Amino acid sequence: MSNFREHTPKRRNIIKKVNSHGEHRKDLKTDYKDRCGYCNDLDNWRSIWFEIDHFIPQKRNKKQFLTIKTITDYTNLVYSCRSCNNAKRNKWPSNDEKVPNINNEGFIDPCEDEYKDQFNRLKNGRIKPNTDLGEWMYNAMKLYNPQHEILWNIEQVHILIIEIRDLVAKSPDDIDLMKRLIILYNTYDDYIQKLFKH
Q: Are 125 and 153 in contact (CB under 8 A)?
A: yes
Nearest-approach distance from CB 172 to Zn ion, in angstroms:
40
Q: Draw the binding track, 52-81, toward Zn ion (x: CB under 5 A; -: no contact).
A: -----------------------------x
The smaller minimum CB distance to Zn ion, of residues 137 and 181, is found at: 137
Stretch that binds Zn ion, among 20-28, 37-45, 58-66, 115-123 (CB under 5 A): 37-45
Instruction: Verify binding: residue 143, Zn ion, rule CB under 5 A.
Output: no
Q: Is residue 42 a contact point for Zn ion (CB under 5 A)?
A: no
Dist. CA 115–CA 21, nearest whole Å: 23
Question: What amino acid occupies position 26?
Answer: K
- Of 28, 36, 133, 157, the one binding Zn ion (CB under 5 A) is 36
92 vs 119, which CB is nearer to Zn ion?
119
Nearer to Zn ion by Cβ, of 36 and 133: the residue is 36
- 108 lies in the site for Zn ion, by CB under 5 A: no
Spatial distance between the Cα atoms of 149 and 134, rounded to a whole number of angstroms: 17
State the nearest-atom distance from the C-beta of 83 to Zn ion, in Å.
5
Contact 148, 129 (CB under 8 A): no
Q: Please provide the DSSP assignment of 111-124 as one string.
A: TSGGGGGGEEE-TT
User: In sequence order, what are the beta bridge partners of 119?
Assistant: 129
Q: Does 28 bind Zn ion (CB under 5 A)?
A: no
Residue 143: which residues within 8 A CB-CB, separation 6 or more?
38, 39, 84, 119, 127, 129, 137
Q: Which residues bind Zn ion (CB under 5 A)?
A: 36, 38-39, 81, 84
